[in-house]
Amino acid sequence: MKEFDIRPKALFDEYLKISRQDIQKFFTDKKSFVETACPGCSMKDSVSAFEKDGFSYRQCPRCFSLFVSPRPTEAVIQKFYRDSDSSKFWAERFFPETAEARREKIFKPRVKMMIELVAKFGIPHPPVFVDIGAGIGIFLEEVKKTGMFQDIIGIEPSIDLAKCLRQKGFKVIEKPVEMAGEDINNASVACSFEVLEHLFNPAAFINSMAKLLKPDGLLIFTTLTVSGLDLLVLWDKSKSISPPHHINFLSVEGLRALLKSCGLEEIEITTPGKLDVDIINNARNENDQLVLPRFMEYLLKNRSEKTFVQLQEFLQENNLSSHVRVVARKKK
Res 121: pLDDT: 92
Instruction: At 56, give phi and psi (nearest 5°).
Output: -100, 115
Q: Which helix (H) or strand (E) holds 155?
A: strand 151-155
Cross-strand partners of 52: 55
State how far the Cα of 68 lies from the Cα of 39, in Å rounded to an integer: 10
40-47 average pLDDT score:
97
Domain count, the chain: 1
pLDDT interval class at 253 (50, 70, 90): very high
Radius of gyration for the chain, computed over Cα atoms and rounded to the nearest angstrom: 19
pLDDT interval class at 43 (50, 70, 90): very high
Which residue type does 132 have? I
Res 178: pLDDT: 87
Distances (CA, A) of 228 to 13, 66, 293: 22, 12, 15
CATH number for the domain harbouring residue 240: 3.40.50.150
Structural domain for 192, as ranges: 3-330
pTM of this prediction? Answer: 0.94
Cross-strand partners of 131: 154, 191
Helix axes 305-317, 294-302, angle to 10 degrees: 140
Distances (CA, A) of 207 to 72, 179, 250, 253: 21, 12, 16, 18
What tens digit of pLDDT does each residue of 70-113 get? 999 999 998 998 899 998 898 889 988 998 999 999 999 999 99
What tens digit of pLDDT does each residue of 143-170 get? 999 999 999 999 998 887 888 899 999 9
Non-local CB neighbours of 291 within 8 Å, separated by 6+ positions: none
Percent of the chain whose pLDDT exceeds 90: 87
Q: Do you know the residue count of the chain?
A: 332
Cross-strand partners of 323: 224
pLDDT interval class at 313 (50, 70, 90): very high
pLDDT interval class at 297 (50, 70, 90): very high
Q: Which of residues 17 and 90 earns the better pLDDT score?
A: 17
pLDDT interval class at 212 (50, 70, 90): very high
Q: Which helix (H) or strand (E) holds 113?
A: helix 108-121
